[in-house]
Amino acid sequence: MKNYLYKQFYRNKAYISALIFLVLAGIMAIYTGKKFLDRNQDIIASSEQFQKESIRKNVNYHQDDLGLILYYVKFNLINETPKLAAMNIGMRDVNPSVQGVTIRNLEEQRYNADFYNPASAAAGNFDFSFVLVFLFPLIIVAFCYNIISEEEESGRWKLLSVQSRDLGKLLDMKLLIRFLAVSAVYFLLIFIAFLWISVPLDMNFLAFIIAGWLYIVFWFVLCRWIISFRKSSAQNALILLIVWVGINFIIPMSSNILIQKFYPVQESLKAVMQQREGYHNKWDEPKQPTMEKFYKAYPQFSRFTVKEDDSFSWTWYYAMQHMGDMEASLSSRQYNEKMAKRNQAAQILGYFLPNIHTQLEGSRLAETGMDNHLNFGAGLKKFHEEKRLFFYPLIFSGQHPEALDWNRQTVKAFRENISADPAALFLPYLLMITILLILSQIKFRKLC
């Protein structure tokens, strides 16, 4: 019987065509990820060369004024992109992997990003996670929706009931054959990605693989439960497609609207406006209040005095630049807190919807999600402060540009050390799979 079921499945040209379609779609998605990584590396290489050229040109052009040189020169911080990002591009296509900042105000600079096509952003990336989350379930539904109903509609069900002692095992064997076929395609694509993209076989990649496979298991168990109600083929297909549309589109979109309502975010624009107003207003205000606030923030620079009747000094200029950032600091902090809360709300929703959980955890492991974006923002702030504190005393003391070793001002990199949390990653899958197995098993017992 087992050999017959195998032959029956693999002789079906529609099934084989569906598996080939999955393989081709997966290869195209892996190619998209590879091109993304290559383009990202080109941008990083260009940023290193651009920073060197910028420093060289500005040092040659403003030979006697260090403050003016540092007004123009941008220092680049790279958000390192792991190879696993090719499997889940996430937010990396709209958030820059390289951020250049001068030692002037930060809040205005940190929200500058490359322009992108909003239509492409809305559609998302055709990466491996897209194929896994959206296309694999459709093929699974097409394979499983009529396993019972086809037998009943063709009139073979009564014959099978007489010949087979355990119809549940027979149906499970059919499901197992389909599960093995889809799993084989999944692991084939993982192997292709491993060779083509050279993804390191570390714990994050292994966690990514297992999470994706458990998502496939979830859909097979869900199909097992739905078909156990012994509805018609059309009803089974309709129910499963409604579930697919509901958990992939309707529920996420409705939840996103609610999350945006509960955590409205206007603070990024507000921070930029506050920074600009705080900085520009200083031109018309007395210098001493600005300097007192600056000395309070950085007592080590109190020896660099500024007189009220001074026409211009770089000490006062960079002090009022930083004061603009300080006046916008509350809005900036509120923005980060609200974005973190939005992300936490999405993660909680993911505990009940495996597709969202798969996307969010995949982007976390690949360092392409909101967590990475917020952490990179914090790293950029620290990087900006390190540059300011290094150059401030040199500028304030009137150091000559030639006294600096500009070759030491190289591009820096930010890298997260993400580690997989097995409980948080796998438990939502296992709970959902277990519940559906129990529910479907209760129905399957009635088939015997």
Domain enclosing residue 154, as ranges: 1-448
CB neighbour list of residue 194: distance below 8 Å, 6 or more residues apart = 201, 205
The two structure tokens encoding residue 269: 């624009």
Convert the pLDDT of each residue in 72-118 to its tens digit: 999 999 999 999 999 999 999 888 889 999 999 888 787 655 444 44
CB atoms within 10 A of CB 151: 19
Please answer whether residues 363 and 211 qualify as being in contact, where contact means their C-beta atoms are separated by less than 8 angstroms.
no
328 confidence band (pLDDT: 50, 70, 90): confident
For 373-432, the pLDDT digits (tens) are 999 999 999 999 999 999 999 999 999 999 899 999 999 999 988 888 999 999 999 999
Q: Per the structure, how many domains does the chain have?
A: 1
User: Binning pLDDT at 50, 70 and 90, where does residue 334 land?
Assistant: confident
pLDDT tens for each residue of 337-356 = 989 999 999 999 999 999 99
Q: Which of 31, 92, 87 is nearest to 358 (CA)?
A: 87
